[in-house]
Amino acid sequence: MATTTSDDAFVEFDRVQKSYDGENLVVKDLNLSLPKGEFLTMLGPSGSGKTTCLMMLAGFETATHGDIRLAGRPINNIPPHKRGIGMVFQNYALFPHMTVAENLSFPLEVRKMGKSEREAKITRALDMVQMGDFGGRRPAQLSGGQQQRIALARALVFEPELVLMDEPLGALDKQLRETLQFEITRLAHDLGITVVYVTHDQTEALTMSDRVAVFEDGRIQQLAPPDTLYEEPKNSFVAQFIGENNTLAGVVTEIKGDQCVVRLDGGGEIDANPVNVSKVGERTRVSIRPERVEFNKERLHPDAHLLKAEVLEFIYMGDVFRTRLRVAGNDDFVIKSRNAPDQVRLTPGQQIEIGWLPKDCRALDA
């Protein structure tokens, strides 16, 4: 999806900054635009600024500088309850003394909606999250997954155009989390709502989002669709944070068009794609994804770049084998290979040659 221009932006952060103490910025000059109907995930480690951005959009925090606009209208001075935004939190935030139906009725009553219209919307919202038979129960009578479905239904019941979700699946077990990831994504697309989703779970971000904004140190390090983010990281932080990644440190010795030559600290030279390097003599860390590396000679591409390696571990993981190697002085170099009938099985201590294509190797910042 292309970067949105201001003209078609539904949600817009314009040079937004946030400081809690007047000195240190937790969000630094944020410029971000979302079109209507996009599912955008803000991804990053704790303290990177992603949740603060969500809270400023919700109205629970105030921007120190810059403007936040919704459908072209500045909302900096509009209180949270008047922004018309649905919210889903990790801790569900359901009223324990109310039934499920009463919890869903609350945002409709605040909007002065009539009883029959309220009942119709509550029924529709509960059916959307497959909880139609639970209207009379209280939150304490529901499992964690059921409570999260009700929290989602409450965020959708008044049919907002924008829904914000802050680590909504963080407290759930893996299987339930994966089920709800699919359901939330389907609902968002079916209803055409815009979603801003915050998580530190990279798998969640990659599987659910139209685009992902990777945060670190109060800035967006890269904003891109999931496949671009994984295949074409712009810097070392993104490469390390998104998925499993191999890095080898070295120095650029030659730059020739769309390739450069890197002399590795641990010995040997490799060709790489010069993403974040511009001159000879520059320090770099080259990045190679584990599934892009091959050691089976029959499968090696003729143009593959070869390096010597020593097998340290060969682990069976069901659908894949995970091999840990010593490569150019790095003991944490990993290969993932699919479990296939022709897969070569390795043993610790074995000396092998590994290879990959230069286009799959990215020379990033040191």
SS3 257: coil
Q: What pTM did the predictor assign? A: 0.88
**For the chain, domain boundaries:** 6-236, 244-364
Which stretches in the chain have pLDDT values below 70?
1-7, 92
Query: In which region does residue 289 sit, left (phi positive, over 0), alpha (psi from -120 to 50) or beta (all else)?
Result: beta
Q: In the sheet where 194-199 sits, what is the strand order?
A: 85-89, 162-166, 194-199, 39-43, 211-216, 219-224
- pLDDT at position 1: 38
- pLDDT at position 3: 43
- pLDDT at position 35: 96
| Torsion on CA atoms 244, 320, 330, 280, rounded to nearest 10 | -60
- pLDDT at position 107: 86
Q: In the sheet where 305-316 sits, what is the strand order?
A: 330-338, 320-327, 305-316, 351-356
- pLDDT at position 179: 87
Top-tier CATH class for 244-364? mainly beta
- pLDDT at position 205: 94
Domain boundaries 6-236, corresponding CATH code: 3.40.50.300
Are both 6-236 and 244-364 of the same fold? no
- pLDDT at position 7: 61
- pLDDT at position 227: 95
- pLDDT at position 180: 86
- pLDDT at position 257: 85
User: What backbone phi and psi angles, to 5 degrees, belong to 342?
Assistant: -95, 10
List Cβ neighbours of 174 (8 Å cut-off, separation of 6 or more).
none
Query: In which region does residue 341 sit, left (phi positive, over 0), alpha (psi from -120 to 50) or beta (all else)?
Result: alpha
